[in-house]
Structure formats: structure tokens, C-alpha cells
Structure 1
Amino acid sequence: MNYIKDMRKLIGHQTLFTLGCGVIIEDGERILLQHRTDEDNWCIPGGVMEIGESFEQTAKRETFEETGLQVEKLDLFGIYSGEACFVKYPNGDEVYSVQLIFKTSCYKGELKQMDIESREHRFFLKEELPQNLNPRQKAFILDWAEKKQLPVIS
């Protein structure tokens, strides 16, 4: 089942409303970011909820698919919405997403460096964050770096 593909067959390029879940994975004072293959930017692991999934199931599934890591003990970090959550892709598809972001330092498994969605994974200190952060994720990555009070709702 692929909700996005099914909906695109019905609505074409019109704006699709989605719910995304992501996970801030911490290793001490560092955050795990992935360098996307489809965009030249860095982001946290995550993706779109499928029909019937819970928020936690989505976050865990997407993180495993993109990193090979199994995450546990997820805490809500924040809920993000607004203009920064809208994107128009090069093919004309438009998406507006509300994003539920979790945080954890409890993970296991072997980090896979290359897959269809990411070309590299790296842990960064807040002082080392790359300049080219994903514009739809920049707010919560910077909130993490600035240790904002949780949960952040914007």
C-alpha cells in the first residue's frame, strides 16, 4: 500500500495534505542527519504516515527504512506546521505536511550509509550543523540545537 501514489492517481499534482513523523536521534550531544539523494540537503530520518499506522509506528518504520536503526523510547519533541511545511516538487506535485517530531537516544542496529533515499548519515554537534538543512526541517533541527523547551508547537 502506498498512500501517496494512490492519492496522486486521483488528484494529480494538486496539494496533498500529509502527516509526517521524524526522529531526532541523539548520540550524546550529537544529532544524526542524513544527506538526501533527491535533494542536496540534510535532514532527520522520517516520512509520511500510511493508513492505519500510529505516529510511533510511522516514526519507527521510516527511521528503520532510511537508516537501518531500530529506535525505542520515543519522546514527543514537537509538532510543526505552517508555510515551511509546504513544498512544490520539480515534477509539479504539491504537498503540505504537518510533522510530528520525536526524540530518542535509544537505538540499536547497524547504520546503513547508502539507500534509495540517502547517500550519507553523520552525527553532528550543534556547532557543526551543515548550512544546507532541509528547509521543511530546519525549524526543528535548530530548535534541537538551541535546546528549546519541549514540546515545541509551531
Structure 2
Amino acid sequence: MNYIAELRALVGTRPLILPGTSVLIADERGRLLLVFREESQDWGLPGGFLDPGESYEDAGRREVREEIGLVVRDLELLGVYSGPEYFYRYPHGDEVHNVTAAFAATVENTDVTVDGTEITGYEFFDLDRLPDDIIAPERPIVEDYVKRFGG
């Protein structure tokens, strides 16, 4: 059982404050990689919650490797995101107040391999043609990225 599952066994679906990371990866054409999350049925960024004792950077690298099979070389902090707009209620009822460190990353290559469990698809999107159904707590992160790197 993982850390969050252990917490959920104790508190049920009640709101938790959870530290996590989002990683923004662009291809050689500057298109942003978004992944399709099976659980919420919408687009999001690679990333996830920290394990006990793990740094934000290590969590970002681990999550990218686990979810989409890419190896992260460098991470540049885009920002830390928290507050009421980062609250999320999962379709199954779990509630979370996200505290997310978002990183722009360089990767060894962009040959994505989805895990097929959490992530069931991916696409590189032009920054001016992003999908409307980006998961709500990650939309402000994507918007900041577009402002900074959108040219």
C-alpha cells in the first residue's frame, strides 16, 4: 500500500493537503506534452505526489519516468502553486488541496511510452491550440508556461 492509500484508509475522502509536482515538457517544435489521465478523463501534465522523504525534483523525475517512460535531464522551477483554485475533487470522491512545484524540463528524447494505467494517451500540443479539458488545478500552471515560453 502506498503512502496516500494509507492516509486514505485513515481519513476516507476528506480533504488532504498534498505536495506534488507537475513537469512541463516540450518537443523540438515547442509543442507542450499533455497526458490523458484515465481516472479523471481529461488532459494534464506528467507528475504526481511526493513520497515521504522525496524532494520535488526527485518526485518529478520519478513520475515522468513511471508515467511516460522519459528520462528528465534538467528541471527549471516555473513556480509553486497553491490556494483555493488548486483544490480538486476526484471523480471517486477523494478531495485534495494541491501544493504543486511545477518545472519546465529537458528530456533525453521525446519517445513517450504511456503506463496504460494512470495515463492512457498523450499528445504534443501547439501552445496556441491547447485542449479545453485540462484538469482544473493544472490549467493555471499551463497558462503560466504559455506566458513564459509561448514566444
Instruction: Rate the CA distance shift 1:87–1:52 in 2: closer, same or farther, 3 A.
Output: same
Cα displacement string for residues 73-112 of structure 1 (whole angstroms, at most 9, x for unaligned residues) = 1110111011121112233321111000011133337311
Count of residue pairs the alignment pairs up = 148
Larger deviation: 104-113 or 9-18? 104-113
Give the letter for the 1:88 counterpart: R
- Counterpart-to-counterpart distance in 1, 2:79 and 2:67: 21
Q: Aligned with 2:79: secondary structure?
A: strand
Matched, 1:54 2:79: no
Matched, 1:125 2:115: no
- 8 Å contact kept, 1:70–1:109: no
Residue of structure 2 in register with 1:33 after alignment: 34
Moved over 4 A (4+): none
Cα displacement string for residues 28-48 of structure 1 (whole angstroms, at most 9, x for unaligned residues) = 321110011112211110000
Residue of structure 1 in register with 2:105 after alignment: 104
Q: Which runs of 5+ in 2 are unaligned?
A: none
Instruction: Rate the CA distance shift 1:51–1:114 in 2: closer, same or farther, 3 A.
Output: closer
TM-score, structure 1 normalization:
0.89
Q: Shift in Å at residue 114 of structure 1?
A: 5.2
Q: Percent identity?
A: 35
TM-score, structure 2 normalization:
0.90
Q: Aligned with 2:40: secondary structure?
A: coil
- 8 Å contact kept, 2:33–2:125: yes
- Counterpart-to-counterpart distance in 1, 2:128 and 2:25: 17
- Counterpart-to-counterpart distance in 2, 1:53 and 1:136: 22
- Counterpart-to-counterpart distance in 2, 1:40 and 1:8: 22
Question: What is the RMSD of the two structures over their aligned residues, measured on CA atoms?
Answer: 1.6
Q: Aligned with 1:112: secondary structure?
A: coil
Instruction: Rate the CA distance shift 1:114–1:4 in 2: closer, same or farther, 3 A.
Output: closer
Give the letter for the 2:122 counterpart: H
